[in-house]
Amino acid sequence: MTQPPDALALAAAIKAGKLSASTVVDATLADIATRNPSLNCFTAVTAERARSQAQAIDNAIAAGQDPGPLAGVPFAVKNLFDIQGVTTVAGAKLNQSNPPAAQDATAIARLQQAGAVLVGALNMDEYAYGFVTINAHYGTTPNPHDPSRMAGGSSGGSAAAVAAGLVPFSLGSDTNGSIRVPASLCGLYGLKPTYGRLSRAGAYLFSASLDHVGPFARSLADLAMVYDMMQGPDPADPVCTQRSPDFVTPYLTEGIEGLRIARLGGHFDRGMEPLVRDILDDVAGALAIATTVEFPETHRARAAAYLITACEGSQLHLERLRHSPMDFDPATRDRFLAGAMIPAAWYLQAQRLRQWYRDRVREVFQYVNVLIAPTTPCVAPPLDQTTLDIDGTTYPLRPHLGFYTQPLSFIGLPVLSVPIHRPGHLPVGVQLIAAPYQEAQLFRVAAWLAEKGVVRR
């Protein structure tokens, strides 16, 4: 696959006058026009806007002004982010008749302020309810490493666009694993920050108490910079008002001395394919991990996460389910209908378990800084695969790609999926997990693994 320069290298070349932002954006748009028909990552391309932004950056550089750390770097976003002048479809046919967004989502606005250039919106599972990006309305996004296999979801278009080299970075959302699963299957870095760390204003929510937004990138340094540029309180998002920025880029050279790192056992040590276990063992060995810890009742926590997601999602779409059920993607509709019939008492019990589980996990982080666990049980499955074997039992594939991600989303922990590529094999992701607001510790470990050659992209 064609791999263009990473974002920071591209920005440096533009600021040094070796490239113009307009040239870079024109080349990106041409590449999208040529390759997207087979990749099916983009559902909308904002060509006129991108060219205008690129010209403004070139003018600023010519005038001796600082265009920002991401000057001229093209990026794209999952099509649930508001883009001014574009209808936010969130993967759904039902949203096509909605009016265009009046303004950009906060995350887009902050990246534009840093000099990045938006080139379009990316495919996803309908209403972000899925792990496969097989969409009845907008088609399937295949895995760029092997087009016969899944890119993962629900942010599959976002991951595939970066893995295919169409853009250096992109934005997705993560409710139960929708950044980390496609990051793993497509061989990228994918960050789910602490719940409430990044603003979700202008993003079409799925399950408000679980939704996060975050970036994908091929380069860890790119991921850190993109994350840093999106940080900061935002009154427009009621859960993103309590923290000032805590930039992670300076921590990329800190190393791991003093960090207490352990491996997650129990639920997180079962069900994976042999290749995934071998890779996890390699990472644990490189980090000299001698301790395994276990979260209690994780299987129940995962079930509670599913109940909360299904209840909150179905309530959001209840009127559409009543009046236009046949306009939903069938796979999404049936799960929303099932969620609408879950008794309220079950939802309340799931929320009680959530609080209990959060308290038990916080106890673990009193004596551990970072935990490692697999991201997905397997490499990217074939597009026609419908089941997954876990410890000798056959399960439906779609929900179980989130086997290791759902219990961590459930309590809002920051998680970074790092890519491991073995020659002759499809990529696999390993999750690095920390206590809330400790993203810097994740980047320290990831940078150390990359420096030692353990993480390969």
Confidence band (pLDDT; 50, 70, 90) for 441?
Answer: very high
Q: What is the pLDDT of residue 3?
A: 60
Q: Both tokens of residue 180?
A: 């980390």
Domain residue limits, the chain: 7-243, 259-435
Q: What are the tens digits of pLDDT across the range 136-183?
A: 999 999 999 999 999 999 999 999 999 999 999 999 999 999 999 999
Confidence band (pLDDT; 50, 70, 90) for 1?
Answer: very low
Q: Return mean pLDDT, the chain.
A: 96
Q: Is the pLDDT of residue 233 over 70?
A: yes
Q: What is the pLDDT of residue 126?
A: 98
- Choosing from 158, 178, 184, 417, the catalytic residue is 178
Q: Is 178 in the active site?
A: yes
Note whether 173 and 211 are within 8 A (CB).
yes
Q: Which whole-number Å values give the CA distances from 380 to 37, 333, 413, 426, in the listed order?
A: 21, 25, 25, 7
Select from 2.40.160.40, 3.90.1300.10, 3.30.360.10, 1.20.120.530 the CATH code of 259-435. 3.90.1300.10
Asked if domains 7-243 and 259-435 share a fold, the reply is yes
For the entire predicted model, the pTM comes to: 0.97
C-alpha–C-alpha distance, residues 119 and 77, integer Å: 9
C-alpha–C-alpha distance, residues 413 and 187, integer Å: 22
Q: Is the pLDDT of residue 243 over 80?
A: no
Percent of the chain with pLDDT over 70: 99
- Choosing from 20, 154, 158, 219, the catalytic residue is 154
Q: What is the pLDDT of residue 269?
A: 96
- Residue 325, number of CB atoms within 10 A of its CB: 14
Q: What is the mean pLDDT of residues 27-40?
A: 98
Q: What is the mean pLDDT of residues 96-121?
A: 98
Q: What is the pLDDT of residue 2?
A: 47
Q: Is 154 in the active site?
A: yes
Q: Both tokens of residue 237?
A: 């998002």
Q: Which whole-number Å values give the CA distances from 350 to 295, 374, 410, in the listed order?
A: 17, 25, 10
Q: Is the pLDDT of residue 418 over 90?
A: yes
Q: Is 170 in the active site?
A: no
Q: Is the pLDDT of residue 91 over 50?
A: yes
Identify which of 117, 101, 130 has the alpha carbon closest to the alpha carbon of residue 48: 117
Q: What is the pLDDT of residue 245?
A: 87
Fold of 7-243: Amidase signature (AS) enzymes (3.90.1300)
Q: What are the tens digits of pLDDT across the range 273-317?
A: 999 999 999 999 999 999 999 999 999 999 999 999 999 999 999
C-alpha–C-alpha distance, residues 51 and 116, integer Å: 12
- Residue 107, number of CB atoms within 10 A of its CB: 26
Percent of the chain with pLDDT over 90: 95
- Beta carbons within 8 Å of 25's beta carbon, 6+ residues apart: 50, 51, 53, 54, 72, 74, 117, 119
- When mean pLDDT is compared across 118-127, 368-377, 394-403, the lowest value belongs to 394-403
- Beta carbons within 8 Å of 109's beta carbon, 6+ residues apart: 103
Confidence band (pLDDT; 50, 70, 90) for 457?
Answer: low
Note whether 178 and 376 are within 8 A (CB).
no
Q: What is the pLDDT of residue 456?
A: 74
Q: What is the pLDDT of residue 405?
A: 97
Q: What is the pLDDT of residue 141?
A: 98
Q: What is the mean pLDDT of residues 243-269?
A: 95
- When mean pLDDT is compared across 39-48, 276-285, 448-457, the lowest value belongs to 448-457
Q: What is the SS3 assignment for 140?
A: strand
Note whether 210 and 410 are within 8 A (CB).
yes
- Choosing from 15, 20, 22, 78, the catalytic residue is 78
Q: What are the tens digits of pLDDT across the range 171-227?
A: 999 999 999 999 999 999 999 999 999 999 999 999 999 999 999 999 999 999 999
Q: Both tokens of residue 255?
A: 């190393």
